[in-house]
Chains A and B, each alone.
Chain A
């Protein structure tokens, strides 16, 4: 992990200038090479986007025409009601609701824990701070796969198997958020806080009134990453949820959908397209923040 690039990730993250002529020099003849580059990009994008486009148009077909040969983009009829039929097939609405609630609760918890711990590591002086921080970072090395087996055992002991808290709590304390917030907080000038301290404000007040308002962008990045990672989470819910009907999340719903209605590809595709909408909207709406977050933190929602 290159701390170098992270040290530079203080509030003054360099905004990439919108159109700097870096990389290759613009060719002397702005025609030929530019045109070729555009053609290559458009071709790559077309190949890349084909699966997504095909999924969308398949969701509009009658089921028996999904695998017609030769393949056609538009079938004999366009069935918009496939998108509604999904909700009558299995508890799809419950899956969506569960995913949203779990992602929101998990994100709120991660924000609270990361901001408070990040403040203690980044702004307060205390004995053993750096040692504890190294321990925190050390836990980032442990992959989720090592944790899921004992975590399931722990859930059994706590009696939490197949409960909402088992979907929210276990992976809400990763050190990543703490690390991100600490890096950001360290870049805030101390003078801003000193003034408030002299006026008699304690750390809690300076934290809430000065440090947090200055950290909106870092909090936004953490919010997006965390929400997406909860929304997409698959392995852990698959393990800890036993009653899909009531506690299943969207990815679990999609996966079991494929098992239950293996023959209904039209509805599978409609459900798939629906599940892609929220995250796609988030990315389009917050693209600048995301790029900045990835450039500075180098870690994304996984």
Chain B
């Protein structure tokens, strides 16, 4: 406090008083957000760190066990490594597929398409409908007697596999369903980026004889690379947090072949009541997200162009 008054004595006392009033008012404006953030973010984060070092049942006595939760996850938990693997597989399949489909659609829905804003809205609708609703629709389509197999058997005479009951197919369908539901978001980001392209640069490229694929890979994609980078990072983060789609579509099955990390965390905490184990697993997930995001930011210098 004394240091504050010393530095402020240099200024005119009028400004000084005003500043102090402004600071006090700022405190008033900021206090709801600060209070909420302290109670519902900062405190839970601290609590979560503590929980991960305890044997912490939902009810009953807690016991400090150091790093045992973390060690046990990797050494004697039959579901954790598969859950890690499933999250990795889902992310590796979902992110590229989502980006390719959304970017292709954004490029396709260029100025020459009539009614393109209507198409954009259509592709965006599943992004905002409850994910539970989207999953139920797909669950019906993928039943052995559902639309896909129904059309295939009656029109082509080919019996398709039972998608949700075979480990390989189940994961593929979780990915396909998720891309269908989620790609409209990136499509809008890319569309917005494409519409802001500097006309002069495109014109110059055209004069120099660039068109078709060359125009796309040498001019257009580098110009929207910041948007592609942003979409890649965000899509990767959401992919690693996948939960509702496998939980509702396959229940994590068959076996544990589609159970991702977040579902593992959910089961540990709220089915088996092992809150400490769940907290530790959540921190491992967070570490993975942070590591991959940092890696993306390191790598962006190679391919993202921020200068227009």
Residues of A within 8 A of B (CB): 1-2, 4-5, 14, 16-17, 19-26, 30, 33-34, 37-38, 40-41, 44-45, 48-52, 54-55, 58, 66-71, 112-114, 116-117, 119-121, 124-127, 129, 132, 136, 139, 141-154, 156, 169-175, 178, 202-204, 207, 228, 231-232, 234-235, 239, 250-251, 254-255, 258, 265, 268-269, 272, 275-276, 279-280, 282-284, 287, 290-291, 294-295, 298-302
Q: Which of A22, A232, A234 is the one whose CB lies under 8 Å from B202?
A: A22
- Cβ–Cβ contact B285 & A146, under 8 A: yes
The verdict on B128 contacting chain A, using a C-beta distance below 8 Å, is yes
The verdict on B140 contacting chain A, using a C-beta distance below 8 Å, is yes
Q: Which of B26, B111, B279 is the one whose CB lies under 8 Å from A22?
A: B111
The verdict on B204 contacting chain A, using a C-beta distance below 8 Å, is no
What are 25 inter-chain pairs, A to B, with CB distance below 8 A?
Answer: A23-B111, A25-B202, A33-B112, A44-B108, A71-B147, A124-B25, A126-B23, A139-B42, A147-B40, A147-B41, A152-B275, A154-B39, A172-B36, A203-B29, A232-B129, A234-B243, A251-B130, A251-B132, A280-B125, A283-B121, A283-B124, A291-B120, A291-B188, A295-B193, A298-B234
Contacts of B238 in A (CB 8 A): 302
- Cβ–Cβ contact A173 & B133, under 8 A: no
- Cβ–Cβ contact B22 & A124, under 8 A: yes
Contacts of B269 in A (CB 8 A): 148-149, 152, 239
Count residues on chain B whose CB falls below 8 Å from chain A CBs: 109
Q: Which of A37, A117, A301 is the one whose CB lies under 8 Å from B112?
A: A37
Q: How far is the CA of A76 from the CA of B180 in the complex (A)?
A: 30
- Cβ–Cβ contact A129 & B150, under 8 A: no
Contacts of B139 in A (CB 8 A): 258
Contacts of A116 in B (CB 8 A): 29-30, 32-33
Q: How far is the CA of A294 from the CA of B102 in the complex (A)?
A: 15
Contacts of B290 in A (CB 8 A): 141
Query: Can you name 12 extra interface pairs (CB under 8 A) apart from A24-B215, A299-B234?
Result: A41-B116, A51-B180, A69-B145, A112-B32, A116-B30, A120-B29, A175-B37, A203-B29, A239-B269, A280-B129, A283-B124, A298-B234
Residue of B nearest to A17 (CB): B195
- Cβ–Cβ contact A232 & B130, under 8 A: yes
Contacts of A145 in B (CB 8 A): 241, 243, 261-262, 265, 282, 285-286
- Cβ–Cβ contact A269 & B140, under 8 A: yes
Minimum C-beta distance from A6 to chain B (A) = 11
Q: Encode B155-185 as 1/0 by CB contact (under 8 A) with A.
A: 1000000000000000000000000100001
- Cβ–Cβ contact B122 & A45, under 8 A: yes
- Cβ–Cβ contact A291 & B192, under 8 A: yes
Given contacts A71-B151, A117-B32, A255-B132, contact A149 B282 (CB under 8 A): yes
Minimum C-beta distance from B186 to chain A (A) = 10
Contacts of B185 in A (CB 8 A): 294, 300
Q: Which of A30, A139, A171, A295 is the one whose CB lies under 8 Å from B192?
A: A295
Given contacts A150-B45, A173-B41, contact A250 B130 (CB under 8 A): yes
Contacts of B130 in A (CB 8 A): 231-232, 234, 250-251, 254, 275-276, 279
